[in-house]
Structure 1
Amino acid sequence: MIKKIDNIWGTEYSFEILHRKETESDVPKIIIVTYMFNNDSTEITKLAVESIKKFTEQEHEIWISDLNSTKESFQWVVADDKLNFVRNLSISQPLPSRQDSYANALGLEAGARAIDPQTKYVVIMHSDVVVAANNWLEFVTNKLNDKVRGVGLSIDSSRINAMHCSGMVFDFDLYKTYKADFRPNLPHLDVADDITTKIRENSFEYTYCKNSFNDKSVIDLIGQESIFKNMRCDRSINDNNEVFFAHLGRGIQKASGKYFKPNRTSIRQWINTIKQFLNE
């Protein structure tokens, strides 16, 4: 394990970094930003990781970018020899709600600095997601080429139609070459929106997958046998209309008991359903 001080955006942070699984530069690196502080927040992150392990046939690395979770909550990451991690030991928790986006960006930046700098493709995900079909990673990365440099699993239509940071894949060389910035600049840009901006500004393209967040009619394409058919979450589908990615949304708020909107999937409903799904 490496312990280091790194200056990110003008502030020094203390990190622990453990790179246990090293792969070639052309192998996608998956970065999951998380903050685990109780059983529910820990469980949703575990389920995200378990789903990746179960459904990812393509070679990959998983990186947990941790925002100073409690020691007890983080222990399973330390114990799992298939996981790499970068852990910020300096950031104060819990953060005020207005800083949640900044903390997410900070986690993404720490993850990007920890991976092989020659990495070809980077996948970023929230912790309240699961992948749900074989060959999902190949399906998404096959959309990338010399012209198309990013793929969103959904699009945030509220600002600039950016690839949503709950799940996206992008060309890491473009990110570095054009100095893309994960930081939000609200109300104009949210977390990681600058990647979309840099793609556009430099005459490249991005695309996105069919998903229920941007198009409710996608739900009609999902088979009745799917547990995701009637689940109130965001779902992305492949060319066979199989759900390959699902995003709970507001996972940390739900885990902390601070989300009260009706007609949404609760944290316990998500955990129980996804556990059942992964055990099938």
Structure 2
Amino acid sequence: MKTALKNGTAAREKAEVDGRVYDMVVKRDTAKGPGVPRLIIPSYQPAETASAILKTCIKSIQRFTSEDSYELWVVDNNSPLKNCEWLLGLEGVNVALSRTEPVPPQKRGIFSRLFYKQSSVNSGSYANAIGLELGLRLIDPSAKFVMTLHMDTMACRANWLEHLQSKLGDNIKASGVCMETHRTKEGVLHVLGLLMDYQLYKKLGMSLLPELPQYDVGDRVTVDFEAAGYGVATCPNTYEQPELAEKLSPGSGLKDLRVVRAFDDDWNVIFLHLGRGIPKSQNEYKGKAASAEEWFDFAKGQIN
């Protein structure tokens, strides 16, 4: 990081989110026109496995997305420097290394700080929201489209981004790979892969910050867009419809991969979500879904 600051490839910047000022080291490596979607990935890398998960995400985007059709931002949430400095060496990727802990307002008091644990915040929704909000403060404000992503996702087919863009129009202002129905009966697009009309987002004065227990990170994109009279679109996926896995060939490697698989209109899998990426990177996840090792094994045949 010191080298990047010294040679001028990165600079210190500050941004305020939710009443807290965040100190960042920012490397602006690429800039596209306002019509090109800005892809924002918030990250936290407590261990090498988490870094490998993030690298897989970045490589998949670069592998399956035309270089001139997106502008990528990775916003790291105060990871140990030894785990995140590698981001500054990436070409064609804009990077922000936040060196301020993403602490929610209710945890900022003296008493609360005594019991504060870094990992519990960084693995939570609030840190994801901060990473995304910082990204929004760094991109060109005239950008027409923004896509939010989780670091444990993988693009796996060419034209995945174009497919999501094709769903946007006069009435549809956001599209995504997965609809979440745990908190609202009508459902909301999940920020793990959500493309939205950024100018409408700004016009409505919105925020991605969670309002738990009612709304999680980015839920209000769907809620507020629909309240303003617009619709949203989602891909068919195995999170909402597990039976869709039966459409897949046993030899594809996708049929039995225990992750969320999102389809295009021709039933091609275009996008994957591992889920619980940070806990899995620290061997803290005890569920039945795919492990980080299974994720990497599948990725080898896709992006390497």
Same fold (TM over 0.5): yes
Residue 209 (1) aligns with residue 219 (2): no
Q: How many positions carry a matched residue from both structures?
A: 278
Partners of 1:28 and 1:187 in 2: CA distance: 30
Paired residues for 1:76-225 under 5 Å: 76-91=86-101, 94-97=118-121, 100-160=124-184, 161-225=187-251
Residue 227 (1) aligns with residue 237 (2): no
Residue 70 (1) aligns with residue 83 (2): no
The match for 1:24 is 33
| Aligned 8 A contact 1:227 1:277 in 2 | no
The match for 1:259 is 285
Partners of 2:252 and 2:259 in 1: CA distance: 13
The match for 1:50 is 59
**1:217 counterpart SS class:** helix
- The offset of 1:72, in angstroms, is 2.1
Residue 245 (1) aligns with residue 255 (2): no
The match for 2:4 is none
| Aligned 8 A contact 2:123 2:279 in 1 | no
How large is the Cα RMSD of the aligned pairs?
1.5
Partners of 1:213 and 1:91 in 2: CA distance: 32
- The offset of 1:243, in angstroms, is 0.9
Partners of 1:39 and 1:272 in 2: CA distance: 16
Unmatched 5+ stretches in structure 1: none
- The offset of 1:94, in angstroms, is 2.5
User: Which is richer in helix?
Assistant: 2
Give the TM-score of the pair, scaled to structure 1: 0.95
Q: Which runs of 4+ in 1 moved over 6 A?
A: none
**2:16 counterpart SS class:** strand
- The offset of 1:77, in angstroms, is 1.2
Partners of 1:152 and 1:273 in 2: CA distance: 23
Change beyond 3 A, Cα 1:266–1:209: same
The alignment-based identity, stated in percent, is 29
| Aligned 8 A contact 1:21 1:84 in 2 | yes
- The offset of 1:268, in angstroms, is 1.4
**1:13 counterpart SS class:** strand
The match for 2:46 is 37
Change beyond 3 A, Cα 1:209–1:119: same
Q: Return 92-101 or 31-40, whichever deviates more.
A: 92-101
Partners of 1:80 and 1:13 in 2: CA distance: 22
Give the TM-score of the pair, scaled to structure 2: 0.88
Unmatched 5+ stretches in structure 2: 1-9, 103-116
